[in-house]
């Protein structure tokens, strides 16, 4: 069983403004550790998959930085999407590339901007999913065992048990409110992590059978032609929710998608008062704050649950609740501030 990995590394990470910009988005920043998140993603996968069997899907703006960051990945394996066209198209193109080299390959799809607390447990879950994908010729997702009723994630309802470690997916559930999320967890639902594992041949067959938004580009042999012909749609909606060959393998390995500044309280080591700090920060009688200071000193006094970002003469202060909706803030700013970077 030959494993290949596809790492989705596009996007601008606007919810980490002002340090995340189109030219330096969050996957290239050291948010969860001391090195960029994409570098973390590659290193946790290298014990399973060598660099020559990794594909990085990104955009042309980021290609030079990614190539410099990942010397173990061949330059030809950094695929620059001509335009954003959704994950269904991106993964279908990646599956095409892999299948040309290895028609029997098992493809692992992950995102570049996750934090994983237990890398060994993560790899074990991927291997379990790969074995299920091969044994049942199925599309497999790894559903993360929830640790809290989080309304920021989609959920998966497991159905019929299939063997020792897998279930058929009964249904995918959209992001709920917090009360509904608690009910879903009680009912045994899992977080929809976006970790996918399948044989490339099976995935492309399911795309052809269920996703005309992407299969309409089957006659296109070039990257530009393919992405020009597809209609944008996510792989969840375009393929997984339409197929009856989708299984879920539960896993618990400290997964977090690091979607907002507030998430850094979960993934960064905190001080005794629960503050997640980066840079020259002095908290006094303050607890539960997230502070990112680059080249500036920050002092907190008697405050809790704030997000403070200080960089290049700009300081942003908000609450952790409001940090989840920075788009509203950015839209309200004058151009001289919102266009920084």
pLDDT of residue 333: 85
Chain position carrying tokens 């992590």: 193
Single pTM value for the model: 0.93
Q: Is the dihedral of CA 239, 75, 40, 322 positive or negative?
A: negative
The CATH code of the domain at 3-256 is: 3.90.550.10
What is residue 85's three-state secondary structure? coil
**Residue from 94, 35, 136, 29 nearest 226 by CA:** 94
3-state secondary structure 148-208: CCCCCCCEEEEEEEECCCEEEEEEEECCCCHHHHHHHHHCCCEEEEEEEEEEHHHHHHHHH
Q: Is 201 left (phi over 0), alpha (psi -120 to 50) or beta?
A: alpha
State residue 99's pLDDT score: 95
Residue 131: predicted pLDDT: 97
Q: Which of 159, 228, 144, 234 is nearest to 190 (CA)?
A: 144
Q: How far apart are CA 54 and CA 98, in angstroms?
A: 9
The 8-class DSSP code of residue 252 comes to -
- What are the structural domain ranges in the chain? 3-256, 261-338
Residue 26 · residue 63 · CB < 8 Å: no
Give the integer Cα–Cα distance in Å for 182 and 51: 40
Report whether the peptide linkage leading into residue 18 is cis, meaning its omega lies within 30 degrees of zero: yes
Q: What is the dihedral of CA 28, 30, 33, 37, to 10 degrees?
A: -10
Angle among Cα 63, 67, 73 to the nearest 5 degrees reads 125
Beta strand 78-80 with 54-58 is parallel
Q: Provide DSSP, 206-239.
A: HHHHH-HHHHTTTT--SHHHHHHH-----HIIII
What are residue 316's DSSP bridge partners?
A: 309
User: 118-133: buried (b, 16+ CB within 10 Å) or exposed (e) per residue?
Assistant: eeeebbebbbbbbbbb
Q: What is the chain's pLDDT, residue by residue, as a tens digit (341 residues)? A: 799 999 999 877 678 888 888 888 889 998 888 899 999 999 999 999 999 999 999 999 999 999 999 999 999 999 999 999 999 999 999 999 999 999 999 999 999 999 999 999 999 999 999 999 999 999 999 999 999 998 889 999 999 999 999 999 999 999 899 999 999 999 999 999 999 999 999 999 999 999 999 999 999 999 999 999 999 999 999 999 999 999 999 999 999 988 889 889 888 889 999 999 999 999 999 999 999 998 899 999 999 999 999 988 899 999 988 888 888 888 888 877 766 55
pLDDT value for 284:
97
Q: Is 249 helix (H, G, I), strand (E, B) or coil?
A: strand
Give the C-alpha separation, 338 to 17, whole Å: 9
């Amino acid at each position: 069983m030959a494993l290949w990995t596809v790492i989705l590394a596009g996007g601008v990470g606007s919810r980490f403004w002002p340090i995340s910009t189109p030219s330096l988005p969050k996957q290239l920043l050291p948010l969860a550790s001391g090195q960029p998140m994409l570098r973390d993603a590659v290193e946790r996968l290298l014990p399973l998959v060598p660099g020559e069997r990794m594909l990085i899907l990104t955009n042309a703006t980021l290609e030079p930085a990614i190539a410099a960051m990942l010397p173990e990945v061949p330059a030809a394996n950094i695929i620059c999407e001509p335009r954003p066209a959704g994950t269904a198209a991106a993964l279908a193109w990646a599956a095409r590339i892999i299948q040309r080299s290895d028609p029997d390959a098992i493809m692992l799809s992950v995102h570049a901007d996750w934090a994983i607390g237990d890398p060994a447990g993560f790899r074990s879950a991927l291997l379990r999913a790969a074995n299920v994908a091969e044994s049942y010729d199925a599309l497999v997702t790894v559903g993360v065992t929830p640790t809290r009723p989080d309304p920021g994630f989609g959920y998966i309802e497991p159905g019929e048990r299939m063997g020792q470690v897998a279930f058929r997916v009964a249904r995918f559930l959209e992001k709920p409110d917090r009360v509904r999320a608690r009910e879903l967890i009680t009912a045994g639902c899992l977080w929809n992590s976006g970790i996918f594992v399948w044989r490339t041949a099976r995935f492309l067959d399911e795309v052809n059978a269920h996703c005309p938004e992407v299969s309409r580009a089957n006659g296109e042999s070039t990257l530009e032609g393919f992405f020009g012909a597809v209609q944008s749609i996510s792989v969840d909606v375009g393929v997984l929710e339409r197929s009856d060959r989708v299984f879920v393998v539960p896993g618990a390995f400290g997964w977090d998608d690091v979607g907002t500044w507030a998430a850094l309280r979960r993934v960064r080591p905190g001080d005794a008062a629960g503050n997640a700090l980066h840079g020259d920060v002095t908290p006094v009688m303050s607890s539960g704050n997230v502070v990112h200071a680059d080249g500036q000193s920050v002092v907190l006094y008697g405050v809790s649950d704030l997000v403070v970002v200080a960089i290049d003469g700009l300081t942003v202060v908000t609450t952790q609740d409001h940090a989840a909706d920075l788009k509203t803030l950015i839209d309200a700013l004058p151009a001289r501030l919102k266009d920084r970077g």
